[in-house]
Structure 1
Amino acid sequence: MADRRRLVAEARATIARGSKSFRTASRLFDRETRERAWLLYAWCRACDDLADGQTLGHDARAGVDGAAAIALMRARTAAVLAGEEVGDMPFDALGLVARECSIPHAFIQDHLQGFALDAEGWRPRTEHDLLTYCYHVAGAVGCMMAVLMGVDANDTDTLDRASDLGIAFQLANIARDVGADHAAGRCYLPVSWLDEHGLCEDGLMEPASRAELAILAARLDALAAVYEDSARVGARRLPFRSRWAVLSAAGIYGAIAREVARRGPAAWDERVRIGKPDKLRHMIAAWREAGRPAAAAVVARTGLWTRRVRADPVLPPSASADEHPPKRPTAPSISPDAAHGGSRS
């Protein structure tokens, strides 16, 4: 089997270059959880780079064959989950951490589906579609991270709240990156939202559109806050070090969404960043919150988007074209099966 120490070292180097915010939060975990988080991150980063033709999230290449990229990541993922080594660090890292923590393969499938949606140029039509997409690209990762932190795979409510945190993170990312996504030919704002405000995707970044666009950014911020609040309930159930790390990340990403909303029409003049002093402030606040006694009452998730709990089939090496939602021109809503796992992979 692949040498664990080598995989961990390479995964650590990947996160050091690929994500300052996640690297900062990961330092708060105990050593075992921290290393496992690095291993999982390396796979997520590799899949994202394959899908977008990037290197550690930068220097995107034009003309990427999305279908081929998805097929490759599915095949390598299936191989390592079957116990094979593929000689590709991020995928071998996933195989290792999946074995160590018994990560349900359904979460891995769900995350891969997010890359498939992007590769097909899919667009959300409704808020439900938006939240479904956020689950695939980030909420499923939240579920995997919860398992790494010791959450039982049958603890549905805590896993749902872990998914909520990923959804909150992704809503913050979408708000921050509207301009960058537009430049790359993408838009994650629901068609129904754009229609309500008289906006069209092509002219989204025009000066005349900025005031209405700022209203939508504030809407994303408010939506992210609801899911963040739910996630904080789940964080109370984690060991102290994990609770501290999760609450720190929640504070940092929440600050991104709030800052985008605060800047209004100027939010996309330059990329919103949370500096080191502010990150430290959020980490101190999270440490204090993590040390408080857990509340006895469970706050219901009434009205929140919820993943469908399903069986955990073996991940196949590829998926046929009819297992994915239609492409961009029709801007379809995701069907219930496609949204929650159905027959898509």
Structure 2
Amino acid sequence: MTPDDYCQQKAAQSGSSFYYSFLFLPTQQRHAITALYAFCREVDDIVDNAEEASVARMKLAWWRGQVDLMFDGTPDHPVAIALAPHIKTFGLESAPFYAIIEGMEMDLDQFRYDDWNALKEYCWRAAGVVGDLSARIFGYTDARTLQYAETLGLAFQMTNIIRDVGDDARRGRIYLPADEMQQHGVTVDDILDGHHTVAFEALMRQQTQRAQSLYRDAMRLLPEADRRAQRPGLMMAAIYHTLLGEIERDGWHVLNQRITLTPIRKFWLAWKVWVGGGAGLIRRLSA
């Protein structure tokens, strides 16, 4: 199995919405973004599957070493080997890769967030920097496109947080601002015990409004000149924004179930953006 094959298998097995946007890209970009996604999956899986935090920290430290080797041109992990040829081609820098690893380390040390500013910092490390790297691979001519991509990454992460409240709680993690939980009268035990209440719905409505605002800000930041190049990100936006709408229509019943879209629906949403260029999506999300 080649390094590219390994990354392709990693991406396909995940069933992620990101995978559907990769299918339409030219070969070099597809290999680069798939390798980036595989990198994110590798480090994320370390934390999700960790039984001992100390072991997870050692593994993440090892991945820091792989990033060093990747930028020296001498990595030995299939994902790092697959990424290495694309560093110069797409102007990738090492700092975002270290930031992604730091975001994973936060999951080992921090299980609550005091307010939106604290949660936003986590979201930036977990997804904002991934947006930056992705935008560079997709291609851009205007620096505002990198701002768009980081903001869109925050929107994706907030959508994930809303979808995964129950799953995360079962791991002992709550990615909801503590001050806003207190504002709505929702306790940590309410979340951990899966109590769906009117107060919980109000809290989730607030988080959904924040995510909607991030989608709106992102669409307004994207320069028209880069819209075509950034279609893969817009395809992901179509899928994630639709998922957010489904969660809201279901009344935020996310404590004891995980709401998803079918693979065929994800593919259809992605295809519509690819064919239409995303203009309609941008108008709808930025309104």
CA 1:176–1:92 in structure 2 vs 1: closer, same or farther (change >3 Å)? same
What TM-score do the two structures reach when normalised by structure 2? 0.87
Task: Look up the match of 1:165.
Answer: 152
1:270 aligns with 2:257: yes
How many angstroms does 1:95 deviate by?
2.5
Of 149, 160, 175, which aligns to 1:188? Answer: 175
Of 3, 17, 21, which aligns to 1:25? Answer: 21
1:280, 1:52 → 2: CA distance? 27
How many angstroms does 1:143 deviate by?
0.2
1:93 aligns with 2:82: yes
How many angstroms does 1:207 deviate by?
5.8
Which runs of at least 4 in structure 1 moved beyond 4 Å after TM superposition?
Answer: none
2:227, 2:237 → 1: CA distance? 16
How many angstroms does 1:196 deviate by?
0.7
The runs of 5 or more residues in structure 1 that have no matched partner are 54-60, 300-345
Task: Look up the match of 2:277.
Answer: 290
Alignment of 1:119-158 (within 5 A): 119-151=108-140, 155-158=142-145
Secondary structure at 1:202 match in 2: helix
Task: Look up the match of 2:59.
Answer: 69
CA 1:122–1:185 in structure 2 vs 1: closer, same or farther (change >3 Å)? closer
Alignment of 1:1-345 (within 5 A): 6-53=2-49, 61-65=50-54, 66-85=56-75, 87-151=76-140, 155-206=142-193, 208-233=195-220, 234=222, 236-238=224-226, 240=228, 242-264=229-251, 266-287=253-274, 289-290=276-277, 292=279
Q: Residue by residue, what CA displacement relative to the aligned partner does 1:78-123 show, whole Å, maximum 9, x if unpaired?
A: 22222222x2112222333223322122222222221121121253
How many angstroms does 1:161 deviate by?
0.7
Whether contact under 8 Å (2:149, 2:218) holds in the other structure is yes
How many angstroms does 1:127 deviate by?
0.9
2:135, 2:252 → 1: CA distance? 36
1:291, 1:20 → 2: CA distance? 20
Q: What is the RMSD computed on CA atoms of the aligned residues?
A: 2.5
How many angstroms does 1:174 deviate by?
0.2
The answer to which of 269-278 and 280-289 deviates more is: 280-289
1:291, 1:164 → 2: CA distance? 17
- Counting matched residue pairs gives 280
Whether contact under 8 Å (2:194, 2:256) holds in the other structure is no
How many angstroms does 1:288 deviate by?
5.7
Whether contact under 8 Å (1:124, 1:191) holds in the other structure is yes
Q: Which has the higher helix share?
A: 2
Whether contact under 8 Å (1:172, 1:253) holds in the other structure is yes
